[in-house]
């Protein structure tokens, strides 16, 4: 249960500091120290539109296209499935925001950020872990990732898992195509999938 009294104390301290003309304290750090922060989130403007990024103490747990899934919906999902202690703390997302900026310019080919897999389970998690191993600039097929996840005939279930990927781009489901080369599907729309593939193709040519 969230300690509302502790939050109120921090807000009152911040107001007093502001009135005194002093530098504001880091409320995100204060909330974390008080045990009031389990999920930090921030947004990032990107060539694909605004992204919402969320992390826990284990790593990046969510990346969403906010014109496809609204910010309120994503925060409600995080509060329901992980913890209601969700707070906008942009500084905590600075490392992954820098990595994504570098990725979009073609200067980064691998993400170093840790991943929190807790929003995935079972076969779906195995599919996404296999997908995370597809090299930058390369592609695989639904059948291949299903086989890598332990079920060669489970390509339809693999497609469902990829469609529900909670961390697109970093877990590169855009690199999975139909066996015949067709794009297949993509959360957020095929235009985004094409752009991601084009970014990687351009920087490896």
Determine contact, residues 42/88, Cβ cutoff 8 Å.
yes
User: What token pair was written down for 154?
Assistant: 């489970």
User: Which of the residues 39, 82, 173, 199 is marked catalytic?
Assistant: 173
Nearest partner of 171 among 59, 27, 87, judged by Cα: 59
Examine the residue annotation and report whether 173 is marked as an active-site residue of this protein: yes
176-177 vs 140-141, strand pairing mode: parallel
The answer to whether residues 52 and 62 touch, using CB atoms and an 8 Å cutoff, is yes
**End-to-end CA gap in the chain:** 53
3-state DSSP assignment of residue 205: coil
**103 CB-near residues (< 8 Å, 6+ apart):** 109, 111, 169, 199
Which residue in 27, 30, 24, 32 sits closest to 55, CA to CA?
Answer: 32
Nearest-angstrom CA–CA distance, 78 and 72: 10
- Residues marked as catalytic: 173
């Amino acid at each position: 249960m969230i300690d509302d009294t502790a939050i109120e104390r921090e807000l009152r301290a911040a107001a007093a500091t502001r009135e005194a003309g002093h530098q504001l304290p880091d409320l995100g750090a204060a909330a974390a120290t008080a045990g009031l922060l389990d999920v930090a989130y921030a947004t990032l403007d990107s060539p694909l539109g605004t992204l919402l990024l969320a992390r826990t103490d284990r790593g990046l747990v969510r990346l969403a296209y906010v014109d496809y899934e609204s910010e309120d919906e994503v925060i409600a999902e995080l509060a329901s499935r992980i913890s209601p202690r969700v707070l906008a703390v942009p500084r905590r997302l600075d490392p992954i925001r820098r990595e994504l900026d570098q990725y979009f310019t073609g200067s980064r080919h691998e993400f170093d950020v840790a991943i929190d897999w807790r929003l995935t389970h079972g076969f779906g998690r195995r599919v996404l872990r296999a997908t995370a191993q597809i090299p930058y600039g390369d592609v695989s097929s639904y059948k291949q990732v299903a086989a890598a996840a332990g079920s060669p005939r489970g390509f339809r279930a693999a497609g469902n898992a990829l469609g529900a990927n909670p961390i697109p781009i970093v877990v590169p489901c855009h690199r999975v195509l139909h066996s015949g080369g067709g794009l297949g599907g993509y959360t957020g729309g095929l235009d985004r999938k094409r752009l991601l593939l084009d970014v990687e193709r351009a920087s490896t040519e």
